Chain A
Amino acid sequence: MIDGDGVEPEGIIGLNVVTRSMKRMGRLVSRCGISPVRRMLRSHSPVSQASWLLADRVVPDGIAHIEGTVMKLRRSSLAATLLLAAIGCSSSHSDGISLVPQAATSLEAASKPVSKPSLAAQNAARLNALSTERLPDAKGHRVSEKFPDVELLDQNGKTHRFYEGLVKDHPVCIVFFYTRCQGSCPGTTQAMKKLRKLLAPEFGSEMRFISLTLDPDVDSSEELRDYMQRWKIEDSEPGQPEWYYCTGKYEELEELRRSLGLYELDPIIDADRTQHAAILTFGNDRTNRWAALPVGSDMQDIVDTMTRIAGNTERQRYAGAVKLGRTAHGHLVAE
């Protein structure tokens, strides 16, 4: 890892690749054994001949003329030049200062080949570049090793081991709440109901929603069952994530809560149930990817992030992340 003198000669000198002789001269200089930095300074002289011999780049005419110098241009194609001219890049701003506000189309025009497919076609191609193969199981340490495998009681009085029964090898979304909460929980419950529908196409019933109580003394199975009925939440909806409302022993739930990072370092705030975290914790144990988001974030952002983090295939993860371009109204391209 230790390089000889800490400086890479060719990188610093900024050789002009104009003629072969200049290149040779540069190599000679770099072999002289002089301090590379001092070598660099020797080449620091007013440029007599500049070259933009860059194979595939079209340089607008405005840049071409440096006072007293002749620039060699290689134009990749006449069509490309005309295209650039058409979008106003031929610059009369030879001082290089002003910014040319770009038309929306120039973004794609500048970076794509000349005979360009439509935006929709490009986006379809980008989507198809994402594999639909189920990504392999993660190897090595898993984040879930830190979760205590405590026994939980769900809304139907059925027991589950938190890890072995609910989390293992599944994508999950976990939240802490309590039925008497007047603060963030109503909003969280609403949001999760929406999410359940929005995530159904990608995850179906493979994903589990797990709502864990902060108040097991009050929140028995029956209370949880009542809460679900009040909110019109079914255990199972066809093709949608299963939703488990769980209670358990207070100490074990506390330990679980801490292992999921949903605690405050300030013990006073942590002990105050009304200030509990309004965070969605989600992940996919099989692929060992986990993250957490404030539940008040934009709903589409939550959906995109959950699919990206917990997705089982590249297409699932990144479909939302590859869309190019903007609509005529300036909004980002929607599905």
Chain B
Amino acid sequence: MAKSQKSKSSSAVTRRGALQVGAAAIATSVFVGLSPEARAKKGRGGGGSGSGGGTGGGTTGTPIRFTPFTVDLPRAAVKSPLAIGTPPYQPGAVFHGIAPEFFNRTLAENPSQRYYEAFPTKFYEMRCQYAVHEFIPGVRTPVMTYDGTVPGPTFKARVGEPVVIREWNDTDRELSTHLHGGHNPAHGDGYPNFYILPGKARDYYYTNTVPMELGQPDFGESPSTMWYHDHSMDLTDEHVVRGMAGFFLTYDDLELDLINRNVLPADEYDIPVAIQDKRFNADGTLWYDPLDHNGYLGDVMCLNGKAQPKMHVQRRKYRFRFLGGSTARFFELRLSDGNFIGLGMDTWLFPQAIERNTLLLSPAKRADVIIDFTNAPNEVFLENILIQEDGRGPSGKLNDRETQIPGFPLMKFIVEGDPQPDSATVEVGTPLRPHTPIHANEIVATRIFEFERRKGAWQINHKFFDPNRADATPLLGTAERWILRNEGGGWWHPIHIHLESHQIQLVEGQVPPLEDRFKSDTAILGAGTELELFMKFRTFKGPFVFHCHNTAHEDMRMMFVFDPRTTSTRAPTVIQQSFP
């Protein structure tokens, strides 16, 4: 049941007399992104409907037509380090310095001396810069990027391998890079006002270590799929929409072993895919309104920076790391043929592979999955079945979402060749990474955070965000229970807490779906719901933030500070350190 495109009526002429009623008529009569032939053949609801292409708040959508499934899904290049071991530059000798943990390994709990191989540090340099990119074939779009590409380069590292990235800001806007899902020092975690100012650089130090638990490394926390993106105060939404995002993949011994034993696909069969919706002006520039505080919705679905791409695949298993890279749009992914084998949620692998029919991806969430094309038909579509009309969130409730099947086709897999039944041995039930749950008897404190909308602004516990104020001061080395309450009004908030994984205990008083019971870093707080999670706070002193990952809400300061301390401290209080 395709919903017709909603358009906000705003009939008066704008000052410049731009896109008007005529354009609106075009948008409703022509499905953007789905050629008439394709539509006739597949009978799919398409670009004009809420599931794939509904836009919120604007009078029109993208007025550019293109033929989908003509461009191959690209893969971001893997970034090479400048040097390994010997620094090619003096770490910290830039305007914004480097984390103090770099000079004092005990602070980083970097037990390279015993538990990890003593990996030498990898030194990188990255430039944040303006560039031009083609999302839609033949259309050149100015973008903001890491190293000139959308998505930015993919980083790969071993768990235990320290990384320093010297990031230069060649743009004219303040930036702050956050490695989402990472366990990192506060200096380089993307705190919103720890900027990289224009023309300056900051050395981001990622220890790539896991927290310690009772004197042993907690390898259950080994990250697999992280992503990095801009996080600067008040400007995050625009910078991410304009292109500032990329992947950061790490591998520990366990995961390498799974790969080596041919349990998991690897190399060219292991593909990170960022799914993002965009909207364009007639001249190919990105449509963006920094004063739309509801959430950015686009009608052109881009995967790894290309609108509705295609991918030629062999008849074997592939591993995909799907990222909900939009800033407000939620996706629910489904295959036109077959199910997924779930390998992991957000940054971490599951204890065992599970069956997943659809993948609910809020902004910032990742689904690490296997798609098995061994017995697939010649064409398989990756679809989005979730209907979302505006920036508040999907239609329906968290446990009762409005979907449409078939959904909006995001990309097309063209399946070729003979079946390869021995491509990788993973199947539903295959053991992956053991998970040690956080137990209730480990909890030392319970905190309640109520998210409220008042007069166009967001409050948490009746307070506005203040970057100098710590709202929670957990004791390092302990576990806490956090209860998150969303008061309602149809607003969905994917809540992301920095520093460590959290374990979702209850959603609306019920045990969550299987895929949400282990480790996550972004928890979907549906409209009018409450959830409870357990979380540990280890290794690094604060300050860190937690916030809604609808980045338009984040920019309207829907954010709070938690500042893990080595001694017991009452909150609220001033943050313990600052790294401007």
For the complex, give the distance between the alpha carbons of A226 and B458 in Å.
32
User: Would A145 and B14 be within 8 Å (CB), given that A56-B87, A96-B114, A265-B390 are in contact?
Assistant: yes
Residue of B at shortest CB range from A144?
A: B15
Contact residue among B12, B86, B292, B580 (Cβ-Cβ distance under 8 Å from A322): B580
User: Would A140 and B102 be within 8 Å (CB), given that A55-B90, A145-B18 are in contact?
Assistant: no
User: Would A55 and B87 be within 8 Å (CB), given that A100-B106, A146-B14, A314-B198 are in contact?
Assistant: yes
- Which residues of A have CB within 8 Å of B259? 37
Residue of A at shortest CB range from B215?
A: A97
Contact residue among B234, B271, B577 (Cβ-Cβ distance under 8 Å from A305): B234
- A12, B158: Cβ atoms closer than 8 Å: yes
Residue of B at shortest CB range from A59?
A: B105
- A99, B79: Cβ atoms closer than 8 Å: no
Residue of A at shortest CB range from B552?
A: A261
Residue of B at shortest CB range from A330?
A: B574
- B120, A17: Cβ atoms closer than 8 Å: yes
Contact residue among A50, A102, A143 (Cβ-Cβ distance under 8 Å from B291): A143
- Which residues of A have CB within 8 Å of B303? none
* Number of residues on chain A facing chain B (CB within 8 A): 117
- Which residues of B have CB within 8 Å of A275? 455
- Which residues of A have CB within 8 Å of B93? 56
Q: Flag whether B489 is at the interface (Cβ < 8 A).
A: yes
For the complex, give the distance between the alpha carbons of A50 and B578 in Å.
33
Q: Flag whether B490 is at the interface (Cβ < 8 A).
A: yes
Q: Flag whether A324 is at the interface (Cβ < 8 A).
A: yes
- B84, A251: Cβ atoms closer than 8 Å: no
For the complex, give the distance between the alpha carbons of A163 and B13 in Å.
14
CB distance from B259 to the nearest CB of A (A): 5
- Which residues of B have CB within 8 Å of A126? 95
For the complex, give the distance between the alpha carbons of A13 and B271 in Å.
20
Q: Flag whether B157 is at the interface (Cβ < 8 A).
A: yes
Q: Flag whether A44 is at the interface (Cβ < 8 A).
A: yes
- A321, B149: Cβ atoms closer than 8 Å: no
For the complex, give the distance between the alpha carbons of A269 and B566 in Å.
45
- B290, A291: Cβ atoms closer than 8 Å: yes
Contact residue among A10, A96, A294 (Cβ-Cβ distance under 8 Å from B84): A10
- Which residues of B have CB within 8 Å of A2? 72, 74-75, 77
Q: Flag whether B54 is at the interface (Cβ < 8 A).
A: no
Residue of B at shortest CB range from A60?
A: B104
- A97, B109: Cβ atoms closer than 8 Å: yes
Binary per-residue interface labels of chain A (293-307) against chain B in the complex, 1 for a CB within 8 Å, 0 otherwise = 111111001000100
Of the candidate stretches B378-386, B417-425, B464-472, the one touching chain A is B464-472
Q: Flag whether A94 is at the interface (Cβ < 8 A).
A: yes
For the complex, give the distance between the alpha carbons of A111 and B580 in Å.
13
Binary per-residue interface labels of chain B (105-144) against chain A in the complex, 1 for a CB within 8 Å, 0 otherwise = 1110111111001111110000000000000000000100
Q: Flag whether B267 is at the interface (Cβ < 8 A).
A: yes
- Which residues of B have CB within 8 Å of A7? 78, 156, 266-267
Residue of A at shortest CB range from B110?
A: A96
Of the candidate stretches A193-201, A206-214, A229-237, A276-284, the one touching chain B is A276-284
- Which residues of A have CB within 8 Å of B87? 54-57
- Which residues of B have CB within 8 Å of A298? 464, 466, 468-469
Binary per-residue interface labels of chain A (267-293) against chain B in the complex, 1 for a CB within 8 Å, 0 otherwise = 001000001111101000000011111
Binary per-residue interface labels of chain B (540-558) against chain A in the complex, 1 for a CB within 8 Å, 0 otherwise = 0100000000000001110
User: Would A277 and B455 be within 8 Å (CB), given that A11-B81, A301-B466 are in contact?
Assistant: yes
- A291, B580: Cβ atoms closer than 8 Å: no
CB distance from B70 to the nearest CB of A (A): 16
For the complex, give the distance between the alpha carbons of A67 and B79 in Å.
34
CB distance from B278 to the nearest CB of A (A): 15
Residue of A at shortest CB range from B286?
A: A141
Binary per-residue interface labels of chain B (562-580) against chain A in the complex, 1 for a CB within 8 Å, 0 otherwise = 0000110000001111101
B-facing residues in A89-114 (Cβ within 8 Å): 89, 91, 93-102, 106-107, 110-112
- A260, B291: Cβ atoms closer than 8 Å: yes
26 contacts between A and B (CB under 8 A): A2-B74, A5-B267, A7-B266, A12-B251, A37-B259, A40-B158, A55-B90, A56-B93, A57-B91, A57-B103, A67-B114, A97-B109, A99-B476, A102-B107, A110-B104, A129-B200, A143-B289, A143-B290, A261-B292, A290-B290, A292-B291, A296-B464, A298-B468, A301-B466, A305-B233, A321-B197
8 A-B pairs with the lowest CB-CB distances in the bound complex, closest first = A277-B456, A17-B85, A294-B457, A50-B118, A261-B291, A278-B455, A149-B15, A8-B78
